[in-house]
Amino acid sequence: MDEGSAPPGAPTCQPAKPSPPSTTQPQHYYCLPTRSNRQQSTDLKLLVLGCGLVALHTWLVHHNAGAQLHMLHMVQVWYPYVTGTSVLGITYKDGVLLASDTLGAYGSTKRYKSFERLRKVNDVCVVGASGELSDFQYIMRLLEELSDDDFCMDDGHHLKPHEVHSYLCRVLYNRRNKMDPLWNSLVVGGFYGGKPFLGTVGMIGTNYTDDHVATGFGNHLARPLMREKHRPDMSEEEATALMHDCLKVCYYRDKNSINKFQLAKVTAEGVTVSEPFALETNWNYTLFANPAANAPGTW
């Protein structure tokens, strides 16, 4: 390429004025985007706003925008945007109970109020998630593929609760090692072989099983109540009452919670996920009515 000439594929450029071209001094360029470039930029913005990333990918392929397409392939969720708060789980004599609200919060905005965060995997297992909801949808697609494989094999076997828990541990730990974690804390509940199973998995693969678990703020708000009142031989009615008490506390104290909950029950009869419901609340407690009454200070 001759000195002073524009590189191939560069935007339309004109020589800087008023200096004429010189044989001893390289020619300088200033770039003027053409109308087509400006129009493509506008089309790109409108496409993203109107149709999302899938349509953007198609548009970039059609226009041979290799560099932009490469950047699109590098898009990752580096920070959670639409999130769910606590998921609670307890075992009782005949099964497992999981509970969560149905809020998908966009930052501090209570944007989506009917997002179900408790999902059935098969007839013996259910999964609940807090954290980034798009990552949870991706995780559920992985589990659905495994369930479809079990169905197609038609040999009577299906994923057991501890196998689902182990699989999710590997998935989240694998993504953590790729420095591209799935921003979720998961609760896996199930009933198999006459025994309840309850476990949790963190976003970097940390995991454990217990008779009661919680994710998010529920670890601080609900677990103390569970430690105080939970018994392995609880009846379903007692377990449900305890879960309602825990949900009330989470609703009172967690700003990213709403009074719209779901319960998932796993027993020998199968998995049942309830319709959303609201709990009766009381806001007349003294500290709610006058929270600064006993606070120290001069205000």
Per-residue pLDDT 10s for the chain (299 aa) are 454 455 555 445 454 455 555 444 444 333 333 334 444 445 544 544 455 445 555 655 565 555 544 444 444 557 889 999 999 999 999 999 999 999 999 988 999 999 999 999 999 999 999 999 999 999 999 999 999 998 999 888 889 999 999 999 999 999 999 998 999 999 999 999 999 999 999 999 999 999 999 999 999 999 999 999 999 999 999 999 999 999 999 999 999 999 999 999 999 999 999 999 999 988 888 777 777 777 776 65
pLDDT of residue 28: 38
Q: How many CA atoms lie within 13 A of 244 on its CB side?
A: 11
Residue found under tokens 């290799």: 66
149 Cβ contact list (under 8 Å, min separation 6): none
Give the integer Cα–Cα distance in Å for 138 and 168.
12
Give the integer Cα–Cα distance in Å for 214 and 208.
11
SS3 127: strand
pLDDT of residue 284: 83
82-273: CATH, from 3.30.365.10, 2.70.70.10, 3.60.20.10, 3.40.640.10: 3.60.20.10
The answer to whether the CB of 255 falls within 8 A of the CB of 261 is no
Dihedrals phi, psi of 243, to nearest 5 degrees? -65, -40
Domain locations along the chain: 13-73, 82-273
The DSSP secondary-structure symbol of 74 reads T
pLDDT of residue 7: 53
Q: Annotate 96-110 with DSSP letters as a single string.
A: EEEEEE--EEETTEE
Cα angle 232-223-82, degrees, rounded to a multiple of 5: 120
Answer yes or no: pTM beyond 0.85: no
Share of the chain residues as helix, strand and coil, in percent rounded to the nearest 5: 35, 25, 40
pLDDT of residue 56: 52
